[in-house]
Amino acid sequence: MQFFDVVIIGAGPAGLKCAEKLGNSSLKVLLLEKNDEIGPKVCAGGLTGKGIEYLGLPPQLIEYSYNQVKLHVNNIASTLKSDTDFAFTIDRKKFGQWQLQKIKAFPNIEIRISSKATVVNKDFIVVGGEKIGFKYLVGADGSNSIVKTFLGLKSRRKIIGIQYIISTNKYQDFEIFFQPEYFSAWYAWIFPHRSYISVGCGADPKHVSPKKLKENFHQWLNDRQIDISKGKYEAFPMDADYNGIRFDNIFLIGDAAGLVSPFTGEGIYQALISGEETAKTILNPSYISDKMPAVIHKHKRHQQLINLMIKSGRLKSLFFATGQQLFKIPKYEKKAIELFG
C-alpha cells in the first residue's frame, strides 16, 4: 500500500490552493482528480473583488471587470456603483490550468487525473482498486463529497444552479435579477465573458423544486427574449451547509465544506481561503487561522438574510424593492457591495 502524508481529493480551486501551499514542504502529497482534465468546472465564472485581490490573477485571465452592477427588482432596473471594480468574470478552465501550473514544479506533489476515490476510511482510501494510506485527508471534492459522506455529515442546505452558455456578444453588463415569483429568495444572472454569456439562476430546492425552477427560468428567458436555441444547458448543485472544516485528521474545504454562500452562490473565494488555511494547519498543527472566522461570519450573515427573505413570504417583492431604494443612498450602496463581495 502506498502511503502519503497528505491526500487531497479534488483538484478544483480549494484542492489546488491547498496543494500549492503544501508545495516544497517535507510532506509527500497526492492530489487526485476524478475527471480527465483539471480546470473545466460547471460554473457561472463570476468572481468578487476579494477573490481577485487574494489570487493576484494575471490580467489575461480576467475577461471583464466591473465597477457597477445592474440590479433588477421586479423588472425595475437600478445600478450599484463603486469607485473601484468589484465584480469580475473569468474563464474557469484557464483559471484551473493557471492554478495547476503553479504546483507542477513541486517535487513533493504527485498529481493523478481520472482517479476517483470509491472508498474512504479514517486512514486509507481506495482509488481504482488501489489502497492508499494517509496521515491527513483533505476533501476538496465538491458538493457531492465522498469524504463528507464518510464523516456522516448530511447536507441540509443545497442550492441548485442552472444556466445556459450562449455564444454572443450582445450583453455587456454584469446583471442580477430578483423576481420572487420565479426564484423565491434567490436570483437570476447574466455574466458576460469574452465569447459567450452565462445566463442562469439558482434556488434552494426545498423552496423551489428543480422542475419548477427550470420551468420558471425558461419563462423568465422568454419574457426577456433571450435566445437559448444554440445554448449549452448546465445544472450544478452547490453546498451551503457549513458544519466545520477539521474532523481529527480529515479536513473538508471549499464546496465540500458547505462554504458556498447561501445567498449569492459564490464560492471561489471561500474555497481558496479554506484550502490555504487547511494547508497551514497541516504544516503547523498549532496554527490558528485569522482568515476563516471572517469567512464563516459572512456565511452566517448570508444565511440570516436568506432566512429573513424566506420568512417574508408574499412580502418578498416589497423586501427587494425596499432594498433597491435604500441602495440609492451612498452608505447603503456601499453596504450592498460589501454584502455581495
The more confidently predicted of residues 150 and 334 is: 150
Q: How far apart are CA 155 and CA 162, in angstroms?
A: 19
pLDDT tens sequence across 98-109:
999 999 989 999
Neighbours of 333 (CB within 10 A): 17
The more confidently predicted of residues 339 and 30 is: 30
Give the model's pLDDT for residue 40: 67
Taking alpha carbons only, the member of 62, 39, 40 closest to residue 51 is 62
* Confidence band of 21 (pLDDT split at 50, 70, 90): very high
pLDDT tens sequence across 121-174:
999 999 999 999 999 999 999 999 999 999 999 888 889 999 999 999 889 999
**Number of compact structural domains in the chain:** 1
Q: What percent of the chain has pLDDT over 70?
A: 95
pLDDT tens sequence across 243-302:
999 999 999 999 999 999 998 888 999 999 999 999 999 999 999 999 999 999 999 999
pTM: 0.91
Give the model's pLDDT for residue 239: 93
pLDDT tens sequence across 40-95:
676 777 888 777 777 778 888 889 889 888 989 888 888 888 888 888 888 888 89
Could you list the residue range(s) of the whole structural domain that residue 52 is in? Answer: 2-340
* Confidence band of 336 (pLDDT split at 50, 70, 90): low
Q: Which residues have C-beta within 8 Å of that of residue 302, sequence separation ≥ 6?
A: 261, 262, 263, 264, 339
Give the model's pLDDT for residue 341: 62
pLDDT tens sequence across 176-199:
999 999 998 899 999 999 899 999
Is 332 a residue whose pLDDT tops 70? no
Q: How far apart are CA 211 and CA 201, in angstroms?
A: 13
Give the model's pLDDT for residue 77: 87
Give the model's pLDDT for residue 225: 95
Segment 323-327 shows an average pLDDT of: 71
Q: How far apart are CA 302 and CA 289, in angstroms?
A: 21
Give the model's pLDDT for residue 190: 95
CB 175 within 8 A of CB 206: no
Q: What percent of the chain has pLDDT over 90?
A: 66
Q: Which CATH number characterizes residue 197's domain?
A: 3.50.50.60
Give the model's pLDDT for residue 144: 92
Calculate the average pLDDT of the chain: 90
SS3 for the chain is CEEEEEEEECCCHHHHHHHHHHCCCCCCEEEECCCCCCCCCCCCCEEEHHHHHHHCCCHHHEEEEECEEEEEECCEEEEEECCCCCEEEECHHHHHHHHHHHHHCCCCEEEECCCCEEEECCCEEEECCEEEEEEEEEECCCCCCHHHHHCCCCCCCEEEEEEEEECCCCCCCCEEEECHHHHCCCCEEEEECCCCEEEEEEECCCCCCHHHHHHHHHHHHHHCCCCCCCCEEEEEEEECCCCCCEECCEEECHHHHCCCCCCCCCCHHHHHHHHHHHHHHHHCCCCCCCCHHHHHHHHHHHHHHHHHHHHCHHHHHHHHHHHHHHCCCHHHHHHHHHHHC
Is 328 a residue whose pLDDT tops 90? no
Q: How far apart are CA 318 and CA 296, in angstroms?
A: 29
Q: How far apart are CA 201 and CA 289, in angstroms?
A: 33
